């Protein structure tokens, strides 16, 4: 249970670092909100320390010493938890069961697509290199806002992939906690608070991704806390830090921050008070994000790289064009005006069942049967974010996650009000609808756990679990494990793949760009093609011993996410006439020696 211990210590360290900020910045919040705020505010200095120390040395010892330093600040934490009138049954029991399921699932080897592609691949690369690096041309993903990924690196160095996944479960817990606190601030009781937390955890997207590694759930937690703090209409610095941290987790946080600050600013203008508070929060948030933008500009000439690259760089490549063109096939019926219905009822018209049963739609309209200014402010933030998402972002329901906490809080308020209706026939009908929804969501929970728990309990090994059609093409599990077992010290390998896999050695992979080619790779002109002779010379010079070729090579929509496909057109046809050392459903391993000799013969050498 190393993963659980690592995450508990990290949360304690984050809370210890954040508590002095809480005491100084938010004296007016209640004690429960202050305690929940401490690890979020502490995440900022801890991530900064991980970056500073990791740039010099990134390994178990360096991260352990850093965590011990953070834990020393925990001495100032309060020794008692504020009393809360808990009535655990039924919502608390269900919540505990779901968190137990997520925690168990996090102990499985990574199976999620983006976790394997980059969320853990980049930390593994840096751990093999011995330092946290920023490698222009290796991957676009390391230029995304790094706060959450830096904390993932600490967890990974201390406890491996399981600890990194368990940290994401902790982020889900913080998001659920803030949903409950927001419901309390909107005027509901403790049972409704537990129900709101359950609603966050019970969404299908949470059940699928809660035990993976993401930057989404840290963003969800920060935005949930920011909305709650914003309702107090005080604490501008704390609000700015939360919004800045959200933006430092993911670029979507910029949209979420605008969606919150614009309604607050409008209300301040109308009431002629509070405008300085809103401006102050915005300035603080911008200052938190500024180092990330400056770093990206210095390295890539684009502060928000890899997005909007043609706007900042002459001949800059629209890096996400293949993906956005593929997503343009998503045409939800009814357009913007039908979204309140289609995003919950016709989820397959977007990117699939991200919510599952539409509890949110069921409860949301009833939240406004009684006048309440705070609820309208939260709704205005939700509506503005959805409009911005529709106008400026790919229409993926997963990209609505920044508003998960306010959505679930408002829906819970509505469901709580409906539950008090005294019409005799209504209560059994309402109870039956909720029961059906819970059965449906429990099926989603079971299907998600079905992939992970057999590995956790040793019923199947990692090869059996991942060498199936759903996972084989991006996990590349068999060839990756073969390379890990057979690569000799100082030897490298050439990867002809659609994306790198966490399960493969990273430092030993041949990088596909020569020094100085990075800018050209992300330009409309592209990099120069390589001849057979140039490739043969390159492979000999870098001591390439093996070639990994994915069985579905070329079947990807994000061709510039990594420096890949440079060698495909020349090398793949030559390998077609060779016998692989390993032939698996996901990919093949070839001896590089005969390949190099064939390339040299083809070039007349």
The verdict on 419 and 481 lying in the same domain is no
Q: Are β-strands 587-591 and 492-496 bridged in parallel, bridged antiparallel, or unpaired? A: unpaired
470 part of a folded domain: no
What is the greatest pairwise CA distance in the chain? Answer: 90
The verdict on 413 and 482 lying in the same domain is no
The verdict on 411 and 483 lying in the same domain is no
Mean pLDDT of residues grouped by 10 in the chain (605 residues)?
A: 95 96 90 94 98 98 97 82 62 89 96 95 98 95 97 98 98 97 92 93 93 97 97 91 98 97 94 92 98 97 95 91 70 82 85 84 85 85 95 90 97 88 74 82 82 90 90 94 96 96 97 91 92 95 97 85 91 94 96 95 74
- From 210, 185, 552, 531, select the one nearest 375 (Cα to Cα): 185
**Phi and psi torsions of 531, nearest 5°:** -85, 170
Give the whole-angstrom CA distance, residue 176 versus residue 225: 10
The verdict on 424 and 506 lying in the same domain is no
3-state secondary structure of 588: strand
The count of other CB atoms within 10 Å of the CB of residue 298 is 10
132 part of a folded domain: yes
323 part of a folded domain: no
What pTM was estimated for this model as a whole? 0.96
Domain that holds residue 42: 1-77+89-309+330-446
3-state secondary structure of 508: coil
316 part of a folded domain: no
* Bridge partners for 588 per DSSP: 549, 583
The verdict on 504 and 395 lying in the same domain is no
The verdict on 16 and 125 lying in the same domain is yes
Domain count across the chain: 2
Q: What is the pLDDT of residue 381?
A: 96
> Residue length, the chain?
605
Return the sign of the alpha-carbon dihedral for residues 535, 537, 542, 546.
Answer: positive
Q: What is the pLDDT of residue 328?
A: 65
The residue among 446, 464, 487 that closes a domain is 446
Give the whole-angstrom CA distance, residue 463 versus residue 117: 17
The verdict on 173 and 304 lying in the same domain is yes
149 part of a folded domain: yes
The residue among 446, 468, 498 that closes a domain is 446
The verdict on 336 and 191 lying in the same domain is yes
The verdict on 436 and 489 lying in the same domain is no
Give the whole-angstrom CA distance, residue 13 versus residue 31: 19
The verdict on 393 and 516 lying in the same domain is no
**Is residue 546 within 8 Å of residue 487, measured between CB atoms?**
yes
Return the sign of the alpha-carbon dihedral for residues 347, 350, 354, 355.
Answer: negative
Q: What is the pLDDT of residue 422?
A: 67
3-state secondary structure of 19: helix
The verdict on 32 and 145 lying in the same domain is yes
* Bridge partners for 496 per DSSP: 549
463 part of a folded domain: no
* Exposed / middle / buried, residue 4 (Cβ in 10 Å: 0-12, 13-18, 19+): middle
The count of other CB atoms within 10 Å of the CB of residue 237 is 16
18 part of a folded domain: yes
- From 499, 496, 472, 517, select the one nearest 561 (Cα to Cα): 499
501 part of a folded domain: yes
- From 272, 223, 277, 274, select the one nearest 248 (Cα to Cα): 223
Give the whole-angstrom CA distance, residue 527 versus residue 529: 7
Q: What is the CATH number of the domain that holds 504?
A: 3.40.50
**Is residue 37 within 8 Å of residue 22, measured between CB atoms?**
yes
**Is residue 473 within 8 Å of residue 555, measured between CB atoms?**
yes
The residue among 446, 467, 499 that closes a domain is 446
**How far apart, in Å, are the Cα atoms of 232 and each of 42, 148, 352, 511, 591?**
21, 26, 36, 51, 65
3-state secondary structure of 108: coil
The verdict on 135 and 277 lying in the same domain is yes
Give the whole-angstrom CA distance, residue 230 versus residue 536: 61
């Amino acid at each position: 249970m190393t993963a659980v211990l690592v995450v508990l210590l990290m949360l304690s360290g984050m809370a210890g670092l954040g508590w002095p900020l809480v005491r100084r910045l938010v004296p007016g919040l209640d004690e429960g909100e202050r305690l929940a705020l401490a690890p979020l505010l502490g995440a900022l200095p801890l991530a900064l320390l991980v970056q500073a120390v990791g740039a010099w040395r990134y390994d178990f010892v360096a991260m352990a010493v850093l965590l011990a330093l953070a834990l020393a600040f925990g001495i100032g934490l309060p020794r008692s938890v504020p009393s809360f009138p808990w009535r655990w049954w039924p919502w608390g029991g269900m919540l505990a069961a779901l968190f137990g399921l997520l925690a168990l699932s996090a102990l499985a080897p990574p199976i999620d697509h983006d976790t394997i592609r980059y969320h853990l691949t980049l930390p593994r690369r840096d751990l093999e290199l011995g330092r946290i690096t920023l490698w222009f041309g290796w991957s676009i993903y390391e230029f995304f806002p790094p706060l959450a990924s830096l904390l993932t690196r600490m967890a990974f160095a201390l406890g491996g992939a399981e600890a990194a996944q368990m940290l994401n479960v902790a982020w889900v817990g913080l998001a659920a906690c803030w949903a409950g606190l927001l419901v309390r601030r909107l005027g509901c009781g403790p049972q409704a608070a537990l129900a709101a937390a359950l609603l966050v955890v019970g969404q299908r997207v949470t059940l699928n991704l809660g035990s993976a590694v993401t930057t989404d759930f840290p963003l969800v937690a920060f935005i949930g806390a920011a909305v709650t703090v914003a309702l107090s209409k005080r604490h501008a610095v704390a609000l700015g830090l939360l919004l800045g941290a959200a933006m430092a987790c993911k670029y979507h946080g910029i949209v979420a921050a605008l969606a919150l600050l614009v309604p607050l600013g409008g209300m301040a203008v109308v009431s002629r008070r509070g405008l300085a508070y809103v401006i102050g929060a915005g300035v603080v948030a911008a200052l938190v994000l500024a180092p990330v933008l400056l770093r990206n500009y210095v390295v890539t000439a684009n502060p928000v790289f890899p997005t909007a690259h043609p706007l900042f760089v002459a001949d800059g490549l629209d890096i996400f064009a293949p993906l956005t063109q593929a997503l343009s096939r998503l045409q939800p019926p009814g357009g913007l005006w039908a979204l309140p219905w289609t995003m919950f009822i016709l989820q397959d018209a977007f990117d699939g069942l991200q919510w599952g049963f539409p509890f949110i739609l069921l409860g949301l309209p009833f939240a406004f049967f009684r006048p309440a200014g705070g609820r309208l402010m939260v709704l205005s933030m939700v509506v503005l974010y959805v409009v911005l998402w529709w106008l400026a972002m790919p229409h993926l329901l997963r990209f609505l996650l920044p508003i998960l906490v306010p959505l679930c809080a408002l829906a819970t308020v509505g469901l709580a009000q409906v539950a008090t209706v005294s019409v005799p026939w209504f209560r059994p009908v309402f109870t039956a609808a909720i029961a059906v929804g819970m059965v449906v969501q429990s099926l989603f929970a079971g299907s998600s756990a079905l992939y992970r728990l057999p590995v956790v309990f040793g019923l199947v090994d990692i090869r059996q679990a991942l060498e199936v059609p759903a996972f084989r093409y991006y996990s590349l599990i068999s060839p990756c494990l073969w390379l890990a077992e057979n690569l000799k010290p100082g030897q490298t390998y050439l990867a002809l793949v659609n994306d790198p896999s966490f399960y493969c050695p990273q430092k030993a992979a041949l990088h596909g760009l020569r020094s100085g080619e990075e800018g050209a790779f992300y330009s409309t002109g592209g990099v120069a093609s390589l001849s057979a002779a140039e490739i043969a010379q390159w492979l000999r010079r870098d001591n390439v011993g093996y070639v990994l070729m994915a069985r579905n090579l070329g079947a990807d929509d994000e061709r510039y996410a990594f420096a890949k496909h440079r060698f495909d057109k020349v090398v793949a046809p030559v390998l077609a006439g060779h016998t692989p050392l390993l032939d698996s459903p996901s990919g093949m391993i070839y001896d590089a020696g005969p390949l190099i000799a064939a390339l040299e013969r083809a070039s007349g050498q």
